[in-house]
Chains A and B, each alone.
Chain A
Amino acid sequence: MSYTLRGRIESRLFATLVVLLGVCAVAAALPAFWPLELVALMLVVGVVMDTLLYSAIEYQPGWYALPLGALELVLTMGLARVLGIDPPFATALAVYGGAWLAAQALAQAGFPLFSLSYAENGGELGRAGAIAGAASLAVLASAGGLAWAKQPPTVHLSAGIHQGPLVITRRETLVGDRGAVVRGGIVIRANHVTVRNVAVVGGQNGIDVEHVHGVVLDHVSVVGAALDGIHVRLAQVMVKGCTVSSPAGYTQGIDISFAMGMGESMIEGCTISGGREGIVTHSASVTVMGNRVSATSLRGIAMTEMSMGMIESNQVTGSQGIGILCVDQSECMISRNQVSGTRSNQASGDLGQKGYGIESNFLATAELSRNELYGNAHRVGTFSGGTVSYG
C-alpha cells in the first residue's frame, strides 16, 4: 500500500484508539499505569517514525510490518527504560505484541472493510480519522490526568535519625534524603506504598509488611533487626536493591510467608549478610534474582512449605548448613546461581546440614540448570523424597 503521511498518522491514531480501549482494561486490572504509558510511547515513536522515516517509503508491502514493528519495539522499550517506566518485560512485550497485531488486523482487513477507498486514499480515513485521532489523544490525556491525580503523595524523610516505629497506613511514596534513618522499624499497612532510599536500624522487624499488595521497597537498608530484616506476611512486595545485615541469633534477612494468594513477589539485587537465614519463603510465590547472600548460619536461600518460584543468578557464599534449599513440597527453578564455601553444621547432627550447595528435601521438586558450585562441603543433596532434575 502507498500511504500518504496523513494516512499513516490517521491509521495509527485510529489503531491506537482500539488498542487503548483494551489497554485501559489491562491497566485497571493490574492496576498499573505503565500499559497506558507504554501505548503513549508507542504512539510517539510511531508518529515520529512516520514523519521522519516512513514517509519516504513510496510503497509498503505487507511484510514490511515485521521489520518496522521490530524497530519500533526496540525504540519503544528503550525509551521506556530511559524514562524510567520500566514495565515488566514479558507483560510489556505481550502488550506491544497485542497492539501490533491489532494494528495489522485493522490495516489489512478492518480499514478496507470499514472504508472502501482506504487504499486509494493512502490510508486517510477522513472525518473518522480525525475523530479517532482526537479520541485517542483525549483518552491518553485523560489517562495521564488520572494517573497524575492518583499518584500517591510523596513524603520526604529528611536526613537524620527518626524515632520509629514509623507506621504507614495510606498509599504514599516515602523517600529518604541522604542520611535519613529510622530507628525501631517501619510498619506498612496500606497498599501501593513505596519506600525508597531509607535506612532502618533496629526494631523487632526492620520493615514489616502485612495484608497489603503493590508495595515496593527500593534501595532500603536494614541493620540490626531483632527478628527479620524485611518481614512480609500475606502481602505482595517488590524488593529491589536492598541491603540487610542481620545480627547473630534467630534472625532472617528477608522472610516472605503465607502469600500464595497475593500474587508474585520479587526480591532482586539485594545484599544480605548474617543471620540464620538470608532469604526465606513459606507458602509463597516469589522470584529471587540477582541477590548476594553471605555468612548465614542455617540456610542462604530457602523456599519452603509449598512455595513456588525461581532462584536465579544469585551469589550465595560462606553459608553454614545449606546454600540453597528447596523443601517441603516446594517447586523451585534454581538456575545460574553461584554457591560457594558452604560449610557443614556439625553441631546440628542433621544430615541435611552437612554443607550442601543445593539441597532438595521432603518431597520438594528442584529443577537445576547452569549453577556454579565450588568450595562447598557437598554439592547437591536430596533427602526425604526431595528430587532434583537438571534442565
Chain B
Amino acid sequence: MAIVGGGLAGFTSYVTLLHGGIPAEDITVFGTSLDPAAAWRVRAASIRQQHMRSESDGHCFPTSFPGLAVHAARQAGVVPLIASVCNRYRPTVAEFLEHVEELGDRTGWAGRIRLDWVDRITASDGGFVVDRHGLFQHVLLAPGPAGLAVPDELAGDPRVVHAYQPHEFADRVAIVGAGMAAATEWLNALAAGSRVVSIRRREPERRQLNVPREMFSRRGLAGFQAADPVSRAASLRKLLGPSYPPGRGWDEPLARAAREGRFRVAHEVDGEPQVVCATGFRQGFVHNPLLRRLVAEHDLPTHDRWIELATDSTIPALTDGSRTLALAGAPAQWAYPAADTLVGAKYSARRFLQRVRSCPTP
C-alpha cells in the first residue's frame, strides 16, 4: 500500500497502520522530505507559535492514550495530567517536534520514504498506479496544503508577506485574517512594538479548537454526514470559518493595545507599509494538481471545493472490496470537518486500516 504525502498527516497515518499490524515493508510513503514536520516547523516558527492549539490529544501516536500529557508527567509529575483532565494542557511546539522526531526514529519512518513528487494517481485493475512507481492495492492520499492563500486584491503587492513565511514587523502593519494564525500575529506584532490594523471580513468564532468539540465525534458527525450535499457544503463553510481560542491571554493584550491606539479593526488595507496575510492555505481540490487530475480523469463527483467522500474518507467510486483510495488531511473534510488536524488524520487512517484489513490480499 502507499501513502502519498510525507507530512504530518502521512506520518500519523503511517504510525497508525504500523500499530494496526501492517508490516512496515508493506507501506511505501511518497514525500519530499525525510522530516514529516518540515513544512509545519517553518510555519510554526514564522508565526512564533509557542504552544499547540489542541490539547493533549494533538499528537502523532496511534492511540489517543497515552498522549503527550502522560509523557510530560514522567518529568513534571501529575500537573500535566491534572491540566489535561481540565483541558488546560497544551504541549509546547518544541515538545511536539521532539515527539515527532522520536516517533519517526522509533518507527523507521525514514526508511519507508521515497523522496519523489507524485503528480498522478490512476485507477487500474486491482489498485492504483502511482505515477511511475507501479501498482498499489491501497492508497491513502495525504497531499497537504495546496499552497499559501493570498487575497486576489493583494496578489503581487510588494508589501505583502504571508504569515507562514519568515518575517519581521514594520512599525505599522495590517494583518489580514481572523483565525488562529492572525490572532497569534496580532500579539506578535504588538509585542514587537508595531501598530496593528486587523483586516477582517467577518468576526471570528471564539472556541478552543478549530471546529466545535462535538464535531470530533459521532455525536456531531452523525448529523453532518447524513446531510444532503448542499447542506453539508454549507455546514463545512460555516464550520471552517475563522476562529481562535477564548481567554484573557488573547483579550487583554488586544484591549490594552486598543486603549493605547495601537490596535484597531478595519475592513480593508489603508496604506500600511506592511501587510501580513494570515489567510491560511488555498482551499479546495482544484488547487492541488494531483487531486484536480484525479477528479478530471475519473469523473469524480465534487461539491463546492470538496471531493465527495464516504464517511470513512474513501472515494466511493474508486473503492470496493479489492482496493481502497482514501484521502487524509484537509481534502478529507467532506468526511470529517476536522480532517486537517492530527486527530483528523487519525480518523482517516483508522478507517483506511479497517478497509485494508477487510480486503483480501491478491
Residues of A within 8 A of B (CB): 1-4, 7, 58-59, 61-63, 108-109, 112-113, 116-124
Contact = CB atoms under 8 A, between A and B. Distances in A.
A51 to B, nearest CB: 15
A59 B213 contact: yes
Nearest to A121: B218
Q: Which 4 residue pairs are nearest across A and B when measured between Cβ atoms?
A: A62-B85, A122-B218, A59-B213, A2-B217
Given A61-B85, A62-B86, A1 B63 contact: no
B63 A122 contact: no
B301 interface: no
A3 B62 contact: no
B84 interface: yes
A116 B220 contact: no
B64 interface: yes
A275 B220 CA distance: 74
Chain B CB count within 10 A is highest, among A3, A7, A62, A116, for A116
A122 B217 contact: yes
Given A61-B87, A62-B86, A63-B85, A2 B216 contact: yes
B57 A119 contact: yes
A376 B309 CA distance: 89
Contacts of B20: 116
21 contacts: A1-B217, A2-B214, A2-B216, A4-B218, A4-B219, A7-B217, A58-B212, A58-B220, A59-B213, A61-B86, A112-B64, A113-B63, A116-B16, A116-B20, A116-B346, A116-B353, A117-B347, A120-B343, A122-B219, A123-B217, A124-B218
Contacts of A63: 85-86
Chain B CB count within 10 A is highest, among A58, A117, A121, for A117
Nearest to A108: B65
B217 A112 contact: no
Contacts of A124: 218
B336 to A, nearest CB: 8
Interface in B309-362: 343, 346-347, 350-351, 353
Interface of B: 16, 19-20, 57, 62-66, 84-87, 212-214, 216-222, 343, 346-347, 350-351, 353
B34 to A, nearest CB: 27
A329 B65 CA distance: 55
Contacts of A109: 65-66
Given A62-B84, A62-B85, A120 B65 contact: no
A119 B217 CA distance: 6
Chain B interface secondary structure, helix, strand, loop or mixed?
Answer: helix
Chain A interface secondary structure, helix, strand, loop or mixed?
Answer: loop
A3 B213 CA distance: 11
B85 A120 contact: no
B246 to A, nearest CB: 14
A58 B213 contact: yes
A140 to B, nearest CB: 28
Contacts of B222: 4
Contacts of B213: 2, 58-59
A240 B315 CA distance: 72
A1 B57 CA distance: 11
A63 B55 CA distance: 14
A117 B86 contact: no
Nearest to B220: A2
B63 A116 contact: yes
Nearest to A113: B63
A32 to B, nearest CB: 35
Contacts of B217: 1-4, 7, 119-123
Contacts of B16: 116
A61 B19 CA distance: 27
Given A61-B87, A62-B84, A120-B347, A112 B63 contact: yes
A120 B220 CA distance: 10
Contacts of A3: 217, 219
A1 B65 CA distance: 13
A110 B217 CA distance: 18
B86 A116 contact: no
A117 B350 contact: yes
Contacts of A122: 217-219
A388 B212 CA distance: 64
B19 to A, nearest CB: 8
A119 B85 contact: no
Contacts of A58: 212-214, 219-220
Contacts of A59: 213-214
Nearest to A104: B85
B219 A118 contact: no
Nearest to B353: A116
A124 B219 CA distance: 10
Contacts of B212: 58
Nearest to A59: B213
Contacts of B220: 2, 58
A222 to B, nearest CB: 56
A110 to B, nearest CB: 8
Nearest to A7: B218
Chain A CB count within 10 A is highest, among B63, B212, B346, for B63
Nearest to B218: A122
B8 to A, nearest CB: 18
A141 to B, nearest CB: 30
A356 B282 CA distance: 92
Contacts of B347: 117, 120
Contacts of A61: 85-87
Nearest to B55: A61
A112 to B, nearest CB: 4
Contacts of B62: 116
A108 B65 CA distance: 7
Contacts of A7: 217-219
Chain A CB count within 10 A is highest, among B65, B222, B343, for B65
A61 B88 CA distance: 10
A119 B63 contact: no
Contact of A112 (B65, B84, B219): B65
A112 B63 CA distance: 6
Contact of A119 (B64, B66, B87, B351): B64
A2 B220 CA distance: 8
A122 B223 CA distance: 13
A7 B220 CA distance: 13
A208 B85 CA distance: 57
Nearest to B209: A59
